[in-house]
């Protein structure tokens, strides 16, 4: 089956590494024009150069998803450089795992700001363009943590399940004019665990990742599948996890 991706303009947050970078490479290979956002601009610059050297089209903008203005600039760049925006991929996210009664309120705020509000800000930036065009596609990268609730992941899973709810509500409200997809990765080989403050949790997650984590390319292919369907087809939910993951 040939995917209908060539020529589409796709904005991706959290694109400097891991899942976001893999999505950018995969979609560029399929002929999409990718507009990359993240805080680490040197990595974005290198990735854009890589994509262009391989014959693709790409641009980047410094993007902290905690800033509505940054996301508006990312969308504006897509429209200015490529004339439109077809897909908004809200991928940026962090994980700080701890018991709720540890009261790591600072980490709660950070996860809410990035994992939840960052997605809402991405939707808010893209929606006016989609409505003007009469077409668009929102892809939210969620997590299997929200599908199976376990200790130490309560607030992280809470932010992800909030995104899951918002994703489904937006799909129903859009009534087919705007496609909406939620993709929930399991253990993936990324830098996510490296940013965890709790050393014990960081080691535990890194150990699990070493045993079973799959390549970010697997998530990128799922995104490509969802984006590449005919306009009349809306892929609502995809779960992609290691075969070993329970």
Which residues form the catalytic set?
Answer: 156
Which letter, b or e, does each residue of 206-234 get, where b requires 16 or more Cβ atoms within 10 Å of its Cβ?
eebbeebbbebebbbbbbbbbbbbeeeee
Strand partners, 62: 38
Strands of 237-240's sheet in order across: 57-62, 33-38, 9-13, 87-90, 136-141, 178-185, 237-240
C-alpha–C-alpha distance, residues 110 and 117, integer Å: 10
Beta pairing, strands 237-240 & 178-185: parallel
């Amino acid at each position: 089956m040939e995917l209908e991706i060539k020529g589409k303009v796709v904005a991706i947050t959290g694109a400097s590494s891991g899942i976001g970078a893999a999505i950018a490479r995969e979609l560029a290979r399929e002929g999409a024009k990718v507009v990359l956002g993240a805080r680490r601009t040197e990595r974005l610059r290198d990735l854009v150069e890589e994509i262009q050297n391989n014959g693709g089209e790409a641009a980047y903008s410094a993007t902290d998803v905690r800033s509505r203005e940054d996301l508006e600039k990312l969308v504006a760049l897509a429209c200015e450089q490529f004339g439109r925006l077809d897909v908004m991929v809200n991928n940026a996210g962090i994980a700080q795992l701890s018991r709720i009664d540890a009261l790591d309120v600072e980490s709660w705020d950070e996860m809410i700001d990035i994992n939840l509000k960052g997605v809402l800000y991405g939707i808010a930036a893209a929606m006016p363009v989609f409505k003007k065009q009469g077409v668009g596609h929102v892809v939210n990268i969620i997590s299997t943590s929200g599908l199976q609730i376990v200790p130490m992941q309560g607030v992280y899973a809470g932010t992800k399940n909030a995104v899951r709810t918002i994703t489904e509500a937006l799909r129903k409200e859009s009534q087919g004019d705007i496609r909406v997809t939620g993709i929930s990765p399991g253990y993936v080989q990324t830098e996510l665990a490296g940013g965890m403050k709790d050393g014990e949790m960081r080691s535990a997650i890194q150990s699990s990742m070493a045993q079973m984590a799959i390549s970010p390319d697997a998530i990128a292919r799922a995104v490509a599948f969802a984006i590449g369907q005919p306009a009349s087809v809306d892929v609502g939910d995809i779960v992609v996890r290691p075969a070993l993951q329970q």
